Amino acid sequence: MPVSPQSEELQITSYASTNGMDVVKHGTGMYYQILDGGMGVTPTANSTVTATYTGKLLNGTVFDSRTASFPLSGVIEGWQIGIPLIKKGGKIKLIIPSSYAYGCNGSPGANIPPNAVLFFDINLVDVK
């Protein structure tokens, strides 16, 4: 069963507090911390972005860490919401409720369980 961002809020705020993050709550229920707003182009849904990132479960398990390029419209909704908050060259931390990530299905190939809240540390390298 899908869960709401509100039902994961305590888990998210606890993670942010434990990890010393000074986060802002987005209207969607996502939380983010902009480390560097960047100075280049602001990405849109039609942009192809290149990002260096690390993705973790809230228990600290890293499920992905790399540099990759992809159409912003083709990634999880949490990235589609969070990445446009910065510009090229920017750095952001996102805590994404499960409903804006892989939902109740998870992503077995990436070892992401159902209804997992995800943390990403992202450096937006390029926007095209």
pTM recorded for the entire structure: 0.97
Residue 1: pLDDT above 90? Answer: no
Question: 78 phi and psi, to 5 degrees?
Answer: -60, -40
- Average pLDDT of the residues of the chain: 97
Tell me the average pLDDT across 77-89. 98
Strands 48-57 and 118-127: antiparallel
Residue 2: pLDDT above 90? Answer: no
Give, for 32, the enclosing helix (H) or strand (E). strand 31-36
CATH code assigned at 84: 3.10.50.40
Which one has a higher pLDDT value, 40 or 62? 62
Burial class (CB in 10 A: 0-12, 13-18, 19+), 87: middle
Q: Say what the pLDDT of residue 123 is.
A: 98
* Number of independent structural domains in the chain: 1
Tell me the average pLDDT across 92-114. 96
Q: Which domain holds residue 90?
A: 5-127
